[in-house]
Amino acid sequence: MTILYGIPNCDTVKRARDWLASHGVAHDFHDFKKAGVPADRLAAWVASAGWERVLNRKGTTWRKLPEAQQGSVVDAASAQALMREQASVIKRPVVEWDDGRITVGFDADDWETRV
């Protein structure tokens, strides 16, 4: 089963969910705000895509962090600690496709090759 991770009020997550539905891709939705960030899945995303890709340094949450806290994110371990603490710094959506592949962010052209 394909699983889409994110937060429901994120515009990119909404577009991704609509895309999956319009392409007939059955999926579950994991809401970071309600269910938290599963540490084992976060580690798998970082292993697959790299912590630099999973960490969203362009978002509002990141920009609002104190400079010292931003500066403390220097490797996969420190990035994962921050992402577990503040799920909104995770680039959304993260999708675990039913074939085991993981994507970070929404790219309709890339997703076309997956279905």
Amino acid 86: pLDDT: 95
Class of residue 3 by CB neighbours under 10 A (exposed 0-12, middle 13-18, buried 19+): middle
The architecture that CATH gives domain 2-112 is 3-Layer(aba) Sandwich (3.40)
Cα distances (Å, whole numbers) of residue 25 to 13, 86, 97: 15, 29, 10
How far apart are alpha carbons 22 and 82 in whole angstroms?
34
The pLDDT score that the predictor gives to residue 12 is: 97
Domain ranges in the chain? 2-112
DSSP structure string for 31-71:
EHHHH---HHHHHHHHHHH-HHHHB-SSSHHHHHS-HHHHH
For residue 42, what pLDDT is reported? 98
What amino acid positions are annotated as catalytic residues? 10
- The reported pTM is 0.94
Q: What is the pLDDT along the chain (115 residues), one digit of tens a residue?
A: 999 999 999 999 999 999 999 999 999 999 999 999 999 999 999 999 999 999 999 999 999 999 999 999 999 999 999 999 999 999 999 999 999 999 999 999 999 987 7
